């Protein structure tokens, strides 16, 4: 399901739109929103612009049937909508509303990968600090007896310990949750932006579970989305949709195509019963 659809600015000068009444323009906007909410796709994943039957579409947007039928007739005359097997479909919806090739998840993931590789190449190399107390031995020079004795005594007494290894350039802090560690690793963070973001992230992980939260973090990384509120919203949606049957390519799992009881309930609510 989409939460938004594209609205092109040319509607203010398009002859098809200018010859419609204001009521018909409002119905057209509602149909665009409905098609985005249904988000029906074919076997190849292309958006079909499918809405519903005339009667049920009118019911969903709370429009009188005669007025809605008149609007559909006007849209059909202008080539804006067509009927396929009794279902209304917005013409050229997939072309006008489809994602640009550069915004598809696979393309975005490749772009993020290249960006991270470029960042890694620009980071300063990590160098190991030298122990200045250790006497460097020049090549081709035999160590003196005093040097040999000192080395032997140091080895036997264990007084000289190896220097500790340096910390990585961006070390993940301790005390993170399972999904929190994945978030810091995916987005190369060294700290939370705010305490409120950390609390929101950890509270959401407790609510939905670490497994679901990990899926949301990986979804964010694939789509170049690091905002904590959006990742938390994605996790809640994954949790909410878990266990539901997989949508078919034909109707995308929406009940309005298959279950008349949906409309019966809506009609009772509309009429105040």
pLDDT, residue 110, reads 80
Could you give the 3-state DSSP secondary structure of residue 260? coil
Distance of CA 128 to the CA centre of its chain: 40
pLDDT, residue 113, reads 85
* Cβ neighbour number for residue 204 with a 10 Å cutoff: 23
pLDDT, residue 140, reads 55
What pTM value is reported for the model? 0.39
* Tokens representing residue 214 in the block: 């990990």
d(CA 189, CA 117): 15
Residues of the chain with pLDDT under 50: 132, 134, 137, 146-169, 243-259, 262-263
pLDDT, residue 243, reads 43
pLDDT, residue 125, reads 58
pLDDT, residue 193, reads 83
pLDDT, residue 256, reads 42
Distance of CA 32 to the CA centre of its chain: 22
Q: 178-186 vs 195-208: helix axis angle to the nearest 10?
A: 130
Distance of CA 158 to the CA centre of its chain: 55
Could you give the 3-state DSSP secondary structure of residue 84? strand
Domains and CATH numbers, the chain: 9-98 (1.10.10.10), 178-241 (no CATH)
Phi-psi region of 93 (alpha: psi -120 to 50; beta: other; left: phi over 0): alpha
User: Are 93 and 47 contacting, i.e. CB atoms less than 8 angstroms apart?
Assistant: yes
Contacts of 221 (CB under 8 A, 6+ apart): 109, 112, 186, 187
pLDDT, residue 127, reads 56
Distance of CA 212 to the CA centre of its chain: 14
Output the average pLDDT for the chain.
76
* Tokens representing residue 35 in the block: 């098609």
pLDDT, residue 249, reads 40
């Amino acid at each position: 399901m989409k939460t938004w659809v594209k609205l092109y600015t040319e509607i203010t000068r398009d002859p098809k739109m200018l010859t419609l009444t204001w009521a018909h323009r409002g119905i057209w906007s509602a149909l665009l929103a409905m098609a985005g909410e249904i988000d029906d796709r074919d076997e190849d994943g292309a958006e079909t612009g499918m809405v519903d039957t005339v009667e049920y579409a009118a019911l969903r947007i709370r429009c009188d049937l005669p007025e809605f039928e008149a609007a559909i007739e006007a849209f059909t005359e202008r080539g804006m909508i067509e009927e396929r097997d009794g279902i209304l479909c917005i013409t050229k919806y997939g072309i006008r509303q489809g994602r640009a090739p550069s915004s598809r998840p696979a393309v975005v993931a490749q772009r993020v990968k290249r960006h991270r590789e470029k960042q890694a190449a620009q980071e300063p190399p990590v160098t190991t600090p030298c122990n200045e107390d250790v006497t460097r031995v020049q090549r081709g020079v035999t160590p003196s007896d005093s040097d040999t004795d000192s080395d032997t005594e140091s080895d036997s007494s264990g007084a000289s310990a190896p220097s500790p290894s340096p910390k990585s350039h961006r070390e993940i802090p301790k005390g993170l949750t399972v999904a929190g560690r994945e978030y810091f690793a995916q987005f190369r963070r060294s700290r939370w932006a705010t305490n409120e973001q950390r609390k929101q992230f950890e509270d959401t992980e407790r609510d939905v579970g670490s497994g679901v939260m990990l899926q949301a973090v990986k979804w964010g990384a694939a789509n170049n989305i690091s905002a904590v509120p959006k990742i938390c919203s994605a996790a809640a949606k994954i949790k909410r949709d878990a266990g539901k049957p997989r949508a078919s390519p034909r109707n995308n799992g929406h009940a309005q195509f298959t279950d008349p009881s949906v409309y019966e309930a809506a009609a009772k609510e509309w009429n105040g019963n």
